[in-house]
Amino acid sequence: MATTAEIKNGVCIKHNEKLFQIIEFQHVKPGKGPAFVRTKIRQIESGKVLDHTFSAGHKIEIVRIENREYQYLYQEGSDFVFMNNESFEQINIPDKMIEKPLFLLEGMICNILFHAEEEMPLVVDLPMYIISEVTYTEPGVKGDTATNSMKPATIASGAEVRVPLFIDNGEIIKVDTRTGVYVERVKN
């Protein structure tokens, strides 16, 4: 068991039988009363960010986690199959562990957070941006490019994003996977 003195940014701890990652922390020594540690922690399974205060010297359980690169292969029912590029071992990950599964493209390299002692996958992190082809969108009307109007478009993965009016079918675009927002048109 460790104490609050070993809290650092990025450390993963077990708290109330759930796994949390420390986002930021601050040791506080008030003039009156005991010292404490104010933290901002993110629950690994749900992604919720919470503020929590630990008293100084409080016992915490540090959990070892590893970030590994895996390649997305295909979807099998409600699971997604990923392959380790070094050992070629395949694992099935349920869709609830992936924040935005609609942005997965075959062959995409993703980071999977593993509980090191239990060899259990915890969270799948997609790349920040994906480059994909627009498979369907309504045609833009000539002269409508002066405004910042957006229209729905479907990309190759099946996800729907909002794109500017000048984007047509077959064009390649860059999309932010965290927000699902169009970033730019990619030149061929």
Does the domain at residues 65-125 carry the CATH identifier 2.40.50.140? Answer: yes
Residues in the chain: 188
Question: Average pLDDT, stretch 130-147?
Answer: 79
User: For 148, how many CA atoms within 13 A lie in the half-sphere containing its CB?
Assistant: 1
What confidence category does residue 142 fall into, taking pLDDT thresholds of 50, 70 and 90? low
Question: Average pLDDT, stretch 68-94?
Answer: 92
* Least confident piece of the model among 129-138, 140-149, 159-168: 140-149
| CATH number assigned to the domain covering 2-63 | 2.30.30.30
pLDDT tens across 29-46, in order?
988 889 999 999 988 877
What CA–CA distance (Å, rounded) separates 98 from 164? 28
What confidence category does residue 109 fall into, taking pLDDT thresholds of 50, 70 and 90? very high
User: For 94, how many CA atoms within 13 A lie in the half-sphere containing its CB?
Assistant: 5
Same fold, 2-63 and 65-125: no
Question: Average pLDDT, stretch 3-22?
Answer: 87
Architecture category of domain 130-185 in CATH: Beta Barrel (2.40)
Contacts of 40 (CB under 8 A, 6+ apart): 22, 23, 24, 25, 49, 50, 51, 52
Tell whether the model's pLDDT for residue 73 goes beyond 90: yes
Tell whether the model's pLDDT for residue 133 goes beyond 80: yes
pTM of the model: 0.73
Return the pLDDT at 150. 85
What confidence category does residue 145 fall into, taking pLDDT thresholds of 50, 70 and 90? low
Can you give the residue ranges of every domain in the chain?
2-63, 65-125, 130-185
> What would the DSSP string read from start to end of 34-89?
--EEEEEEEETTT--EEEEEEETT-EEEEE-EEEEEEEEEEEETTEEEEEETTT--
Residue type at position 47: G
Distant-in-sequence contacts of 8-17, Cβ < 8 A, 24+ apart: 11/62, 12/44, 12/62, 12/63, 12/64, 12/65, 13/41, 13/60, 13/61, 13/62, 13/63, 14/60, 14/61, 14/63, 15/41, 15/52, 15/60, 15/61
Q: Can you tell me which residue has the tokens 């922390």?
A: 25
